Amino acid sequence: MAALPRDATVAVFGAGAMGAGIAQVAAQAGHRVLVFDARINAADDAKRRVGEALAALAAKGKLATADATAAAARVEAIHTPGDAASAQLVIEAIVEDLEAKRELFRQVENVTSPDTILATNTSSISITAIGAELKRPSRVAGMHFFNPAPLMPLVEIVRGLATDPEVEATLHATALAWGKSAVRAQSTPGFIVNRCARPYYAEALRLLAERAADPATLDALMREAGGFRMGPFELMDMIGHDVNFAVTKGVWEAFFHDPRFTPSVHQQELVNAGFLGRKSGRGFYDYAPGAAKPVPATEGPQAAPPHVVVHGDLGPAAALVDRMVARGVLLERRDAHDAFAGGAIAVGGTWLALTDGRTATARAVAAGVGDLVLFDLALDYGTATRVAVARADACGDAALATAVGALQTAGLAVSRVDDVAGLPVMRTVAMLANEAADAVQQGIASPADVDAAMRLGVGYPRGPLAWADAIGLARVRDVLANLALHYGEPRYRIAPRIARRACGGGRLAD
């Protein structure tokens, strides 16, 4: 299916930051763009802001001056819905309210051609519900841009139950023609990104509620070990807790209170207090002028071990030992120890093992050892700069110091967290993969589109499905099973796609 012709008129309803950004994208792609907003002077202000943004790009050499001038001239402010009668594509970017969107499209439907495509920029409201009461629900689809629209590469093209496949295909081709990376999704609460990203916030909030560590430490671990651009707490502060909480609550309610999406009482309290994050000056962090920047908890320097013994296959953590060896630690390899099927490192009488979803205490009891320290997942143990550890209750201070010294020898900063199940990065990645696998299982999107959406829409260092494949599906399955056993909640139930492929082979990303 071909993209919308360049001579087609595009109308954008809603002149806020998102609407203006979408108008800029369409104008730069060569379309005449009409901007409407019910607020007095808002459309004219949006036209001015688009012109300034284009001029700024030209001043930085990112856009030819002539092209910037031409694109700005293609943007027009209109003052009644009827002025959009010639539009072949209408993109709605108004308030996130179902009835408001329905009413707008009723008006637009009465003044535009029967062939006009009606696209909504909603981030989570059902496309099916938006179009259900219109004369032509087949013309309605989602075209979800990410903020800021001119910079963010991802666009989710979302089909409702009544959406004409040709409409979906045209929007997909149009987004590509506009220079975006487009993914297709079926209408479901949160679509791809806002659904599959929920565990990134939910697991961090649960760890905070369990007092596993403070926000600064958890954020540092997700950045420096997990490879995420921002930690969950600083990201929630940037998004705004009112917005983030509302999306979580909306997805939870739309899924009939599925425990997997349960909102956080702690975050609700922040909203109630007006501590909304950066925009209010306070959230998890204090943004007042002169406020001290929180620092992550980091273990002090400990002695480097002269040698370590590796039992079995360390799987994704193999590069950790390579770093120790590169710094002069002598290495001895032995067969897997009966108590540590997933591999372990022995440093004297201290055991180090990658988390498998159990607490260190539970795992030590099962293994019949006392001095056990678990370490967390890293995106790349060859380049990570920090790692989390947790010790079993019976593990002594000397044994902990030995384990910390071994990890520091590998060039890692070490943050000790309380003995929680799964540890921060591993449990978060496992849950992200679990949600992504469920979305694929339910036909919401293809594996490739899910992974692309999470990389491009929220900047994850790796698509969650490909990440689970790299960790090993049996390992991910076991982490989820142990979390479910620990908490006794359906929140950690294993997605059928993971359970099946972990047993029968195959990859999630295929």
Catalytic residues: 123, 144, 156, 194
Question: CA-to-CA distance for 237 and 292, rounded, in angstroms?
Answer: 16
List, in order, residues 6 or more apart from 38 with CB less than 8 Å away. none
Question: CA-to-CA distance for 411 and 266, rounded, in angstroms?
Answer: 35
- Contact (Cβ atoms closer than 8 angstroms) between residue 259 and residue 489: yes
CB atoms within 10 A of CB 236: 27
Helix axes 473-487, 496-504, angle to 10 degrees: 130
Task: Provide the β-strand partners of residue 11.
Answer: 34, 90
* DSSP of 217-284: HHHHHHHHTT--SS-HHHHHHHH-HHHHHHHHHHHHHHTTS-GGGPPPHHHHHHHHHT--BGGGTBSS
Q: Element (H or E) spanning 308, and its range?
A: strand 307-311
Question: CA-to-CA distance for 446 and 482, rounded, in angstroms?
Answer: 28
List, in order, residues 6 or more apart from 397 with CB less than 8 Å away. none
In three-state secondary structure terms, 463 is coil
Question: CA-to-CA distance for 333 and 477, rounded, in angstroms?
Answer: 27
**278 exposure class (CB count in 10 Å sphere: 0-12, 13-18, 19+):** middle
Token pair recorded at residue 183: 């993914």
Strands 307-311 and 181-186: unpaired
- Contact (Cβ atoms closer than 8 angstroms) between residue 241 and residue 267: yes
**429 exposure class (CB count in 10 Å sphere: 0-12, 13-18, 19+):** buried
- Contact (Cβ atoms closer than 8 angstroms) between residue 215 and residue 208: yes
Q: Element (H or E) spanning 129, and its range?
A: helix 127-131
User: How many helices (H) and strands (E) are present in the chain, helices listed first?
Assistant: 20, 15
Question: CA-to-CA distance for 384 and 407, rounded, in angstroms?
Answer: 11
Q: Element (H or E) spanning 416, and its range?
A: strand 413-416
Question: CA-to-CA distance for 437 and 45, rounded, in angstroms?
Answer: 43
Token pair recorded at residue 58: 């030209």
Question: CA-to-CA distance for 457 and 231, rounded, in angstroms?
Answer: 16
Question: CA-to-CA distance for 41 and 368, rounded, in angstroms?
Answer: 72
CB atoms within 10 A of CB 281: 15
